[in-house]
Amino acid sequence: MERELALELVRVTEAAAIASAQWQGRGKKIEADDAATTAMRNMFDSVNMDGIVVIGEGELDEAPMLYIGERLGTGMGPKVDIAVDPLEGTNIVAKGTNNAIAVIAAGDKGTLLHAPDMYMEKIAVGKNAAGKISLLDPIEKTIDIVAEANNKRVRDVTVIIQERERHEEIVERVRAKGAKVKFFGDGDVGAAIATCLPQTGIDLFIGIGGAPEGVISAAAIKALDGDMQARLLPQSQAEEERVIDMGLKEPRQLLTLNDLVSGDDAIFSATGVSDGELVDGVRFLGGDLVETTSIVMRSKTKTVRYIKAYHHLEHKPHLIVE
- Ligand-binding site membership of 3 (annotated): no
57 is in an annotated binding site: yes
Any idea what DSSP says for residue 59?
-
- Nearest Cα neighbor of 266 from 109, 87, 123 is 109
Which amino acid, one-letter code, is at 297? M
45 assigned ligand-binding residue: no
Is 210 marked as binding a ligand? yes
Q: Is 306 annotated as a binding residue?
A: no
How far, in Å, CA of 85 to CA of 66, rounded? 9
Q: Does residue 85 have a known ligand-binding role? A: yes
Q: Is 188 annotated as a binding residue?
A: yes
Residue 288 marked as a ligand binder? no
Residue 238 makes CB contacts below 8 A (sequence gap 6+) with none
Note whether 224 and 127 are within 8 A (CB). yes
Residue 186 is assigned to a ligand binding site:
yes
Q: What is the DSSP letter of 320?
A: -
Q: How many CB atoms lie within 10 A of CB 286?
A: 7
What is the sign of the dihedral through the CA atoms of 108, 109, 113 and 115?
positive
| CA max distance for the chain | 56
Residues in the annotated binding site for substrate: 88-90, 119, 164-166, 186-188, 210
Annotated binding site for Mn(2+): 33, 57, 85, 88, 213
- Residues comprising the binding site? 33, 57, 85, 88-90, 119, 164-166, 186-188, 210, 213
